Amino acid sequence: MIDDSTYRTLISAANLQALIKLGGCLIVDCRFDLSDTEKKRSEYLQSHIPGAYYAHLDEQLSSPILPDTGRHPMPDVAKLTSWLAGCGFDGSQQVVVYDDSFGAMASRLWWLLKCLGHESVAVLDGGWQAWLAAGFQTDAQLPQSDPIEYTASLDSNCVVNSVQIMSALKAGDSSPLQLVDVRSNERFIGAAEPIDPIAGHVPGAINMPLTDNLDEQGCYRSPQQLQEMYRPLLQQHSAHELAFMCGSGVTACHSVLAMVHAGYDMPRVYAGSWSEWIRDCNRPRATGE
């Protein structure tokens, strides 16, 4: 049974199945493999949730990499909204996004839609695995939609950039900005770096790995558990003063979703994140705890 007419953070596989039967929701498959960028598109073409469109992280949810950007720059808003319109989105539908990495990729589109001002968007809790485990239907048909118009502007207050981070570091304790790095502790302290050429973190950042958002089944923890987890961050900072980061600004959105699901206001994202920060050798870096 559907327990809410609008889903703004998470949705269960059972409730998504009920929405599909009612019709009118837009579903987007965001599966992606950083080590093989075409693998998940191929898997989507073989099998996906009925009616789901596919969003490729590099093509729809990011812009091309430039010499001074991170690995997944923010997408061009006009191109993003045009693609959404091509999926039949007009700004009024319930959107559901999913992946097979427990929300780490799908949360990027969730966050982008929030930044565009669309509230009715949710991540499938437990992702593709939860859908399969429930025994719900899959197919390989590609969805079709009629031409439609959709335009929106991105709320610049949702993001922080490298210039703002440098200014905050120079201001020291007088700056209210607090970075929260969601990468694994191993990457944060610089003990290992499997993706980027330089290991470590931005000085002053706090490490809260995104994996802590999940339970043993790979679903998000309860709002009450997430409230307890994130409450210490809000003792000295408002949610807007928090800027979540990761390696490239994608998986940081996973923890933004966790905070919103806990009932807190939406924090910001350092969109360039570590892979952009290290592009400039004059920016300070730290290792260790």
CA atoms lying within 13 Å on the CB side of residue 87: 26
The predicted pLDDT at position 5 comes to: 62
Per-residue pLDDT reduced to its tens digit, 184-213: 999 999 999 999 999 999 999 999 999 999
DSSP for 181-243, written as a single string: E-S-HHHHTTS--SSSSS--B-TTPEE--GGGGB-TTSSBPPHHHHHHHHGGGGTTS-GGGEE
Per-residue pLDDT reduced to its tens digit, 265-289: 999 999 999 999 999 999 999 999 8
The predicted pLDDT at position 1 comes to: 35
Read off the pLDDT of each residue in 60-85 and give the average, rounded to a whole number: 97
281 is catalytic: no
Per-residue pLDDT reduced to its tens digit, 80-93: 999 999 999 999 99
**Residue 3 in this model has a pLDDT that exceeds 50:** no
The predicted pLDDT at position 47 comes to: 98
Q: CA 190, 213, 255, 113 torsion: positive or negative?
A: positive
Over the range 40-50, which residues count as b (16 or more CB within 10 Å of their CB) and which as e? bbebbeeebbe
DSSP 3-state of 99 = coil
**Residue 2 in this model has a pLDDT that exceeds 50:** no
**Residue 49 in this model has a pLDDT that exceeds 50:** yes
Read off the pLDDT of each residue in 40-48 and give the average, rounded to a whole number: 98
Read off the pLDDT of each residue in 41-50 and give the average, rounded to a whole number: 98
Average pLDDT over all residues of the chain: 96
pTM for the complete prediction?
0.96
The predicted pLDDT at position 165 comes to: 97
Q: Looking at 30, 246, 253, 281, which residue is catalytic? A: 246
Read off the pLDDT of each residue in 2-26 and give the average, rounded to a whole number: 88
Per-residue pLDDT reduced to its tens digit, 138-169: 999 999 998 799 999 999 999 999 999 999 99
Q: What whole-number percentage of the chain has pLDDT above 70?
A: 98
